[in-house]
Amino acid sequence: MLTIEAPSDFKNHVGQKLGESDWFKVEQRHISQFAALTGDDFWIHVDEEKARNEMPNGKTIAHGLFILSLIPFLQRQIFTVNQRGRGLNYGSNKVRYIEPVSVGSRIKLHQTLLSAEVGVHATKITTSNVFELEGLARPCVVADFILLLYEL
């Protein structure tokens, strides 16, 4: 895990790979809970029996937005900032859902620091986020993620 002392110190890591998370197994309970929370309960996500008969691999698939929403959770395994104030999700750029993520699949987050804009009270960092899908050469989701980290 990469340890950064203060948000402004990200400027020393621009262009570098920050690291990767452990594998995360996508389970039906994750998909079903996300569907219930968002109202996106289309059968390809929640109907296991219909998916067995009608989906190419016979399994439900995770919502692309669910995978994207795992960035804050998984990046905790990649870097930590010792002295920081609040952090705010500032948005995402160039989001692409490349491969479906079937229930039971394992994914891993790889992060690279694209930019670090140091301001008076906060540093805005942009990371490249590539979700590896175990067993495939192509990633399943890629996105640039923007985070605003305040100094103490």
**Can you give the pLDDT at residue 111?**
98
Q: How far apart are CA 137 and CA 119, in angstroms?
A: 38
Q: Which helix (H) or strand (E) holds 129?
A: strand 122-133
Over range 42-57, report the average pLDDT. 97
pLDDT in tens, 51-81: 999 998 999 999 999 999 999 999 999 999 9
pLDDT band at 25 (very low <50, low <70, confident <90, very high): very high
Q: How far apart are CA 145 and CA 152, in angstroms?
A: 22
In this prediction the pTM is 0.95
**Can you give the pLDDT at residue 127?**
98
Please, what is the Cα angle at 26 between 98 and 92, to 5 degrees?
45
Closest CA to 116 of 4, 41, 27: 4
pLDDT in tens, 94-148: 999 999 999 999 999 999 999 999 999 999 999 999 999 999 999 999 999 999 9
pLDDT band at 9 (very low <50, low <70, confident <90, very high): very high
Say which CATH class 2-25+63-150 falls into: alpha beta
Asked if 144 contacts 58 with a C-beta cutoff of 8 angstroms, the reply is no
**Can you give the pLDDT at residue 100?**
97
Q: How many CB atoms lie within 10 A of CB 141?
A: 25
